Structure 1
Amino acid sequence: MTDATSAQSAEQFWEERYQGQDRAWSGKPNEPLVRETASLSPGTALDLGCGEGADAIWLAEQGWRVTAVDLSATALRRAAAAAADAGVAERIDWQRHDLSATFPQGRFDLVSAQFLHSPVAAEGERPGILRRAADAVAEGGVLLIVGHAGWPSWQCGQPPFHYTFPTTGDVLDQLALPDGEWEVETEDEIVRDAPDPEGRPGTRTDNILKVRRTAGRTR
């Protein structure tokens, strides 16, 4: 990641993004999260970069107890209001963290990082955050990382900022998971519909990495 877009802080960037529109995201849970967790027995979950809360709310509706984290206070307020409307407010603990500096305490049966990309984060921040995410997975639990594999099909010419999209292999290398303690359950690439800002058809390719901790934490 790089701060090539501007010199503003990550907090300022995301606050301005959320405050600049009534809703930044669709309000629906991410499809890879639904697909990869639907068969799991509900337990405790950590949702990193929860945004306006759609994933956390869906997990809570399935019976999970969720700790949901974001940098933007505006996004968290919207998420809490949406959870109350959905009747699952008591199942979600909303926490504000700059994940490059602080991280939620505890161990979780599911740790989810959905599209944890940022145009204003320092190079190398994401791998460190994901390593802390792996440390937070309980024995027998799952780490689910979903990210973009590249720019949308309609992105032509110079992209809005420089970013190197990691492959699932890159992510596994960055995680440096101890041998014998983890099992890869899903390593996949999917192509989904992604219309351009004017609503014209387009696609985007995403990567899915799901790993399960099979032995106790040693790090």
Structure 2
Amino acid sequence: MSTSDAVGAAGPMAATGPIDAATYWEDVYAARPVVTDPRPNVRLTEIVTALPSGRALDLGCGNGADALWLARRGWQVTAVDISSEAVARLTELARARGLDDRVTGEQHDLHESFPEGGFDLITAHYLHTPFDLDRSSVLRNAAQALRPGGRLLVVDHGSTAPWSWNQDPDAHFPTPREVASGIDADPSTWPIERAEPSHRIATGPSDQRAEVVDHILLMRRVA
């Protein structure tokens, strides 16, 4: 469900009719052309570049840009999405780039299942959906899956872009502190390293440009 600026900020239209989340997202990706050179999320490259590589988990990998960027930097990446089409496209992109030994794609409905193992980095970029999703539960599972010293990076929309699928003027964008409160992690074990809004210029699906706000939460597991 997570994607980079040009696609992710545009996102899907609101879900309508009796359709389940997995089918909906399959249709979304089937209707999109394959992105052959996807761009990683800006906040990922800003924050993770200085970190030593290890084992990473990309929650809602979308077009695969973040997973591929991490793999190029030496990370062993598990990338998950609810859409099997998204996972298949990522797997093919990784193979074509000689990164298939560093990227493992898995289909998960995070409402129902979570990848196994421990991770040094877990990222959740724009993990938004028009369907009900207990994000707090998903992020609690993510915090528990961190190895000692590992970090959880959550980047959410903090504003409505002109091209966003959600143009509700009354939409509430949870602050990073609100997201952290929902995770309800003991601060002595999972201290917050960063919790703040940050402004940037984003590019939309038709190359529009606008200032948007990202809500950034970075937590580290110390024990």
* Shorter-chain TM-score range: 0.7 to 0.9
8 Å CA contact retained: 1:153, 1:204: no
Matched, 1:151 2:160: yes
Residues 1:214 and 2:222 aligned together:
yes
The number of aligned residues is 210
Corresponding residue for 1:13? 24
- Matched to 1:194, the amino acid is A
Distance 2:74 2:158 in 1: 31
Q: CA deviation at 1:163?
A: 5.1
Which residue does the alignment assign to 1:139? 148
Question: Whole-Å Cα distance in 2 between the matches of residues 162 and 5 of structure 1?
Answer: 18
Aligned mates of 2:74, 2:38 — CA distance in 1: 19
Match of 1:181 among 189, 194, 210: 189
8 A contact 2:36–2:93 mirrored in 1:
no
Instruction: Mark the runs of 5 or more structure 2 residues left unpaired by the alignment.
Output: 1-13
Q: 94, 114, 125: which is aligned to 1:114?
A: 125
What SS does structure 1 have at the residue aligned with 2:88? Answer: helix
1:168 aligns with 2:176: yes
> 2:57 maps to which residue?
46
Query: TM-score, normalised to structure 2's length?
Result: 0.86
Give the counterpart of 2:88 among 69, 72, 77. Answer: 77
- Tell me which of 20, 26, 44 is aligned to 1:33: 44
> Contact 1:5 / 1:160 at 8 angstroms: preserved in 2?
no
Distance 2:33 2:146 in 1: 34
Cα RMSD over matched residues? 2.4
Identity, in percent, stands at 38
In structure 1, the gaps of 5 or more residues are none
The TM-score with structure 1 as length reference comes to 0.87
- 1:133-167 CA deviation, whole Å, 9 max, x = no partner? 11111111101001101211566xx8269853211
* Aligned match of 2:109: 98
Question: Structure 1 residues 161 and 15, CA, compared in 2 at 3 Å: closer, same or farther?
Answer: farther
